[in-house]
Amino acid sequence: MADEFDIDDIQRRMDGALAALKRDFSGLRTGRASTALLDALDVDAYGSQMPIDQVGTVSVPESRLLTIQVWDKGLVGAVEKSIRESELGLNPQSEGQLIRIPIPDLSEERRLEIKKIAAKYAEQARISVRNVRRDGMDQLKKAEKGGEISQDDQRIYGDELQDMTDNHVKKIDETLAQKEEEIMQV
């Protein structure tokens, strides 16, 4: 078998695309407060971009309220700005170093917007999985041309790669359907 072709590495990369999708979905709002909502946001702090959880403590004191206890008083404005400029539609209010973020009810229109964003994330994940498949197929073709594997082996591994791709795309679609159902729940 070719040294270049590693089915476990391809599996790991496809699983990584699915994990990234789930991480992206955790940041989409569903009407309930969750600290994961702010995970994707970065704050301009100390001359670089930092995740919000590295400049303050994010907590959920109530089901419709997030709070951020910012550690450095000078970063309160930057944290507020980051939240306001995100696509989350949130309006932070600061009280000293504590930022309160009320989670408003989602309108039908906003739910549909969030569904579109979720679909965009799912499509990015599908593209990632297909790119991994393409890389694997290229490795197989090179190995076959180099005489490292036979045409039959290339076809067998190619079919296995396609099955793996189909399974991951199916998981992505199932995850998207689950998230859309969660988003549309009133």
Of 103 and 5, the structure prediction assigns the larger pLDDT to 103
The CATH number of the domain holding residue 86 is 3.30.1360.40
Average pLDDT in the chain? 86
Pair (65, 82) in one structural domain: yes
pLDDT of 85 above 50 = yes
Residue 30 confidence (pLDDT) = 65
Name which of 139, 73, 61, 42 is nearest 100 in CA terms: 61
Residue 26 confidence (pLDDT) = 77
Q: How many folded domains does the chain comprise?
A: 2
Q: Which residue reads 């949130």 in tokens?
A: 90
Pair (98, 38) in one structural domain: yes
Q: What percent of the chain has pLDDT over 70?
A: 95
Pair (57, 91) in one structural domain: yes
- pTM (2 decimals)? 0.69
Between CA 13 and CA 23 the distance in angstroms is: 15
Pair (80, 138) in one structural domain: no
Pair (134, 42) in one structural domain: no
Q: Of 102, 133, 152, at which residue does a domain stop?
A: 102
38-64 per-position pLDDT tens digit: 877 889 888 888 888 888 998 888 878
124-145 per-position pLDDT tens digit: 999 999 999 999 999 999 988 9
Domain hosting residue 176, numbered range: 7-25+107-184
Residue 4 confidence (pLDDT) = 55
Pair (96, 119) in one structural domain: no
* Mean pLDDT for the stretch of residues 141-155: 89
Q: Of 84, 102, 120, at which residue does a domain stop?
A: 102
Of 4 and 68, the structure prediction assigns the larger pLDDT to 68
Pair (96, 111) in one structural domain: no
Residue 2 confidence (pLDDT) = 42
Residue 29 confidence (pLDDT) = 65
Residue 186 confidence (pLDDT) = 65
Residue 128 confidence (pLDDT) = 94
Q: Of 102, 123, 153, at which residue does a domain stop?
A: 102
Residue 1 confidence (pLDDT) = 44
